[in-house]
């Protein structure tokens, strides 16, 4: 299993629209084969700071996700809402053992 944490900093005037667009992407993403979890988190100390937690069951699933229409729609819709470009780190699940 691969877990990707995507850190996103959103412009203060865009947080409502960002959440709306992202929840639509989350809803569609959770139905994709190969996705074990797809969650949106918001920092309690900074309402403009978000993390997407994406858990994939196989190494090819992240690339397949980026080929979907809902991902492309989300990417294009939120690009101008970000205060800085988003960043991501990929992790390997250690425990519980896959």
Structural domain contains residue 97: no
Domain presence at residue 45: yes
Residue 12: domain span = 2-92
CATH number at residue 88: 3.30.70.100
Asked, for residue 98, whether it belongs to a domain, the answer is: no
In this prediction, residue 96 carries a pLDDT of 84
Task: Tell me the pTM.
Answer: 0.93
How many structural domains compose the chain? 1
Q: Locate 77 and state its tokens.
A: 């819709």
pLDDT per residue over 11-59, tens digit each? 999 999 999 999 999 999 999 999 999 999 999 999 999 999 999 999 9
**Phi/psi-derived region of residue 34, left when phi > 0, alpha when psi is between -120 and 50, beta in every other case:** left
């Amino acid at each position: 299993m691969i877990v990707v944490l995507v850190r996103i900093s959103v412009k203060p005037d865009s947080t409502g629209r960002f959440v709306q667009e992202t929840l639509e992407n989350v809803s569609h993403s959770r139905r994709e084969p190969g996705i074990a979890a797809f969650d949106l988190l918001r920092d309690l100390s900074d309402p403009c700071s978000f993390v997407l937690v994406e858990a994939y069951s196989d190494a090819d699933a992240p690339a397949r996700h980026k080929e979907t229409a809902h991902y492309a729609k989300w990417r294009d819709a939120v690009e101008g809402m970000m205060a800085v470009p988003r960043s991501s780190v990929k992790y390997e699940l250690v425990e519980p053992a896959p």
